[in-house]
């Protein structure tokens, strides 16, 4: 069993379906007076907002992780060494 991207068996049919679906959605959005520029701008703003939120969360979490690691990692190493010594 291979791992990775699997091409559809009928790539032509899939592309045709995607074409017509895109055409229908485009006609509906055009009827609603949605312009591609505004749609892409909104997506870009959303992506930027998500990125900024992730950066803020990391900036908040990293100091706490580092402080906790100062205690947790040495304790874990000692316990792992004791478990390894008991097995011998």
Give residue 69's domain range: 11-87
In Å, how far are 14, 68, 78 from 85, measured between CA atoms? 60, 26, 11
CB 8 within 8 A of CB 14: yes
Evaluate whether residue 1 is within a structural domain.
Answer: no
- CA 21-43-4 angle, 5° bins: 65
3 within domain boundaries: no
Placement of tokens 């485009």 in the chain: 26
Q: Which pLDDT tens digit goes with each residue over 26-78?
A: 899 889 988 888 877 777 778 888 889 999 999 999 999 999 999 999 999 99
User: Does residue 62 fall inside a structural domain?
Assistant: yes
Domain assignment present for 26? yes
- For the chain, the domain total comes to 1
Provide the terminal-to-terminal Cα distance of the chain, rounded to the nearest Å.
40
**Which residue would you say has higher pLDDT here, 73 or 7?**
73
| pTM (whole model) above 0.85 | no
Structural domain includes residue 44: yes
């Amino acid at each position: 069993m291979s791992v990775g991207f699997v091409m559809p068996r009928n790539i032509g049919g899939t592309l045709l379906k995607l074409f017509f679906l895109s055409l229908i959605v485009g006609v509906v959005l055009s009827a609603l007076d949605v312009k591609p520029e505004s749609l892409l701008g909104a997506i870009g703003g959303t992506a930027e907002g998500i990125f900024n939120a992730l950066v803020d969360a990391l900036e908040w979490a990293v100091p706490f992780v580092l402080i906790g690691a100062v205690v947790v990692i040495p304790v874990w190493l000692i316990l792992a060494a004791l478990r390894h010594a008991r097995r011998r």
